[in-house]
A and B are shown apart, each in its own frame.
Chain A
Amino acid sequence: MSDREDVAILGAGMHPWGKWGRNFVEYGVAAAQAALTDAGIEWPEVQFVSGADTMRNGYPGYVAGATFAQALGWTGAQVASSYAACASGVTAIAAARAQILAGLCDVALVVGADTTPKGFLAPNSGVRGDDPDWLRFRLLGATNPTYFALYARHRMEAYGATTDDFAAVKVKNARHGLLNPNARYRKEVTLDEVKASPIVADPLRLLDICATSDGGAALVLTSMDFARRHLGADAGRSGSGVARIRAVSTVTPTYPQTIIELPGFATDSTAGIGGRPELTFKQSIARRAYEEAGLGPDDLDTAEVYDLSTAMELDWYEQIGLCSVGDAEALLRSGATALGGRIPVNPSGGLGSFGEAVPAQAIAQVCELTWQVRGQAGDRQVDGARTAMSINQGLFGHGSAVIVSR
């Protein structure tokens, strides 16, 4: 099999998630150093730095690539910074991958980190009457959990989901996260505890909704040729044994978008030319990744999906093709998506165990895939994992999916 369109993941590293309250740059540097150590690469060897931006930490966050490069010590490397909301990390990965595949560099470092405030993610301050993200709070009081709850209640009506199903996602992911030293929440959660937690936006309760966290994640990406040369006689990880990126999907939606998305006030109209699209946005993100890799859902051994809410994890089962639309609850109840099941989902513990550190999260998903396909995921290892997908979706229409294989 040709791997000319692949890039190697030589190193993965994270700063543990939490509510540490320190400068985001610290987390990014710690994650970068961990990834470089994992790769056996010295910082001055990095030719391209790709930063995922944070919007909540002032100017250094807007130019995260340069911020991390400076904190590691200027070396004259090429640099880029990306912002795509929750998809920022994969946009940064896509930039690094393109540089490598174009032959413009051999070694790239991707870094994302965030320090988040307590409570709801709020819009930037000031009066901004032309910014839908400001207006949705102003005119509707539509927080992020408002949208998650609208989807969740619709699942209950359309597909027979129950609040017990939602709670079961939390219980499963808490069991996974318990085994992950980088997770913020590392304890078992019972169905009763979920159902006793306060309602945020019905039918979703506090433990159905992911928190916001501090954290950092980084990857060292290289050309396949560089990886072979670098690993040399390291038989365990050389050649086809190296984790590699098979596909990156950063697609936009296709008009008309028929599901109400953050931070919108309305869906697109299906009344005009174009009618209903064949795929939902989430489906199209996965479809593009599958097509690029020449793979399908049956080829996956595990997946990391963006469980901003427990109910949203169920949406993803269907949208990435693990089951038909309307069958996610049955798949969950069968145990297939728990560790030990047919297709474990969120073996890392997911956002339910991490909380979201926006620019770091999509990179952290790929760190988990890397460790899974290398067989280095410790007690949360998916047996025999060789191919895995991460997927999420950024505000305002940024798709984000990666397929990793060994």
Chain B
Amino acid sequence: MPKTRVPAVEGWFTTDESAPELIGARGTVTGSYFWPVALASSANPTAPTEPREAVRLSRRGTLWSWTTNEYKPPEPYVSSDPFVPYTVCAVELAAEGMTVLGQLARGVDPHSLRFGQEMELALGVLYEDDAHEYTVWSWKPVADGGQEGGAR
């Protein structure tokens, strides 16, 4: 029986397999973007209690940096057994003026990455148990010739 796919965290991203989006917020006074919204971890000091409207962040950005972790990290990361190195990317979103972290989509060779290349949000499996696959946002290189993006 196929496993049920559930997000590893609720409300951070949409689960559209082909075109997932990060679920952010925009301040209605300042125009600043916020993500992840659930952490309520930042505010624009000119209007700290401004109302916020839900927005989807740009699906595409440019690669600012990346690194591959060669050692098994501590819990609560759920490592595969045996441990498989994984890559974390930092991607700049132009419209939002934000840099967003995410794992590199599994199966992409990190040695193929280059600075400033266009990246696109993808949905990946972070870990699984007997009944579920837990999904997470990730970044993958845009195939050459792709066109899309921009804030909504």
Contact = CB atoms under 8 A, between A and B. Distances in A.
Interface of A: 119-120, 122-123, 125, 127, 129-130, 132, 134-135, 137-143, 145-146, 149-154, 157, 198-204, 255-256, 258-260, 264-274
Which 10 A-B pairs have CB atoms at the shortest separation, nearest pair first? A272-B32, A270-B97, A122-B74, A149-B67, A272-B30, A272-B31, A269-B33, A271-B97, A154-B65, A150-B65
18 contacts: A120-B74, A123-B74, A123-B76, A137-B73, A139-B8, A139-B136, A140-B88, A140-B102, A150-B67, A199-B68, A199-B70, A202-B67, A204-B67, A260-B99, A266-B98, A266-B99, A269-B34, A272-B31
Contacts of A134: 76
B97 A269 contact: yes
A134 B99 CA distance: 20
Given A153-B65, A201-B69, A271-B97, A266 B76 contact: no
B39 to A, nearest CB: 6
Nearest to B63: A157
A260 B90 CA distance: 8
A199 B67 CA distance: 11
B38 interface: yes
A201 to B, nearest CB: 4
B27 A272 contact: yes
B69 A143 contact: yes
B31 A273 contact: yes
B4 to A, nearest CB: 19
Given A256-B32, A272-B30, A273-B30, A141 B100 contact: no
A198 B97 contact: no
Contacts, number: 151
Contact of B98 (A129, A201, A203, A268): A268
**Residue among B38, B74, B102 with the highest chain A CB neighbour number at 10 A:** B74
A274 B32 contact: yes
Contacts of B136: 139
Interface residues of B, number: 51
Contacts of B44: 255-256, 272-274
User: Secondary structure at chain A's binding surface: helix, strand, loop or mixed?
Assistant: loop
A142 B97 contact: no
**Residue among A141, A145, A150, A204 with the highest chain B CB neighbour number at 10 A:** A141
Contact of A129 (B9, B45, B79): B9
A130 B9 CA distance: 10
Contact of B76 (A119, A127, A202, A274): A127
A92 B104 CA distance: 40
A161 to B, nearest CB: 12
A332 B110 CA distance: 30
Contacts of A132: 39, 41
Contact of A265 (B30, B36, B67, B71): B36
Contacts of B67: 146, 149-150, 152-153, 201-204
Contacts of B71: 120, 143, 200
B9 A256 contact: no
Interface string B75-97: 11111000000101010000111
Contacts of A272: 26-27, 30-33, 44
A266 B70 CA distance: 23
